[in-house]
């Protein structure tokens, strides 16, 4: 079993022993890119990450193998305190799967790079780079509990600007970001719902889908009850 002292070759050799053709087929059904996949589940990868520990240099070496599981392990074992904008861009250049993107987005938020990366990634025309911007917003709305609400509300115009991007992995992330802002608390719910309603009435098919889906969730009994519980007494 690999440990903190294990190098990239040792870890990759261990990963190869865990290969599962059945799991690879299952991943493909969920839209995960499997050309370089070994079919190892994320809970197993997360357990391995805890075993080998954080190692920034080794994480880059794992990433450079191009193997899906090695890249997931890299994301789990980068040191967020050391991760730089330039390094995030280097990783983003290789993004080709929603699963990798969404996991990396959480890392970038943990590294507190979202303020710089969200607008820059959103402006990037590459589908998975743009998705990363909105996955970061979705993650920040949940995980950055001490972040001023104004910071997230201030991202709603960016969501509106890209709500007409019809590409599947972008539109779903834009929708996700809008819904997560709206579910954060009462202060965020009202402006997010207002934007969702505006998009729902759009002439653009993609914006209309994003808006209607967000309105459906943000006006559901479950979410309205949760928002009410968060209202200051």
CATH architecture of the region 97-233: Alpha Horseshoe (1.25)
Q: What is the dihedral of CA 204, 210, 213, 217, to 10 degrees?
A: -140
State the Cα–Cα distance between residues 191 and 199, nearest whole angstrom.
Answer: 12
Return residue ranges of the chain for CATH 1.25.40.
Answer: 97-233
* Residue 199 reports pLDDT greater than 90: yes
Q: Which pLDDT band, with edges at 50, 70 and 90, does 224 fall under? A: very high
Tens digit of each residue's pLDDT (9 = 90 or more) over 62-97: 999 999 999 999 999 999 999 999 999 999 999 999
Confidence (pLDDT) at 61: 98
* Residue 129 reports pLDDT greater than 90: yes
User: pTM value?
Assistant: 0.95
Tens digit of each residue's pLDDT (9 = 90 or more) over 14-68: 999 999 999 999 999 999 999 999 999 999 999 999 999 999 999 999 999 999 9
Q: Which pLDDT band, with edges at 50, 70 and 90, does 215 fall under? A: very high
Burial class (CB in 10 A: 0-12, 13-18, 19+), 79: middle
Burial class (CB in 10 A: 0-12, 13-18, 19+), 41: middle
* Residue 165 reports pLDDT greater than 90: yes
Confidence (pLDDT) at 42: 94
DSSP 48: H
State the Cα–Cα distance between residues 200 and 175, nearest whole angstrom.
Answer: 12
């Amino acid at each position: 079993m690999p440990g903190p002292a294990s190098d990239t070759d040792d870890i990759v050799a261990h990963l190869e022993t865990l290969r599962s053709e059945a799991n690879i087929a299952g991943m493909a059904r969920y839209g995960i890119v499997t050309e370089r996949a070994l079919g190892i589940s994320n809970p197993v990868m997360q357990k391995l990450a805890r075993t080998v520990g954080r190692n920034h240099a080794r994480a880059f070496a794992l990433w450079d193998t191009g193997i899906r599981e090695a890249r997931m392990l890299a994301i789990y074992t980068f040191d967020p305190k050391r991760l730089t904008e330039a390094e995030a861009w280097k990783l983003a250049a290789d993004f080709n799967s929603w699963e990798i993107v969404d996991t990396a987005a959480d890392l970038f938020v943990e590294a507190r790079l979202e303020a710089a990366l969200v607008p820059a990634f959103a402006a990037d025309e590459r589908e998975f780079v743009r998705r990363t911007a909105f996955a970061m917003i979705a993650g920040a709305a949940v995980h950055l509990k001490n972040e001023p609400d104004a910071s997230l509300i201030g991202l709603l115009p960016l969501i509106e600007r890209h709500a007409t991007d019809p590409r599947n992995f972008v539109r779903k992330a834009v929708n996700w970001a809008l819904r997560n802002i709206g579910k954060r608390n009462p202060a965020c719910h009202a402006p997010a719902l207002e934007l969702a309603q505006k998009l729902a009435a759009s002439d653009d098919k993609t914006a209309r889908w994003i808006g209607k889906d967000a309105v459906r969730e943000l006006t559901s009994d479950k979410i309205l009850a949760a928002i009410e519980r968060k209202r200051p007494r």
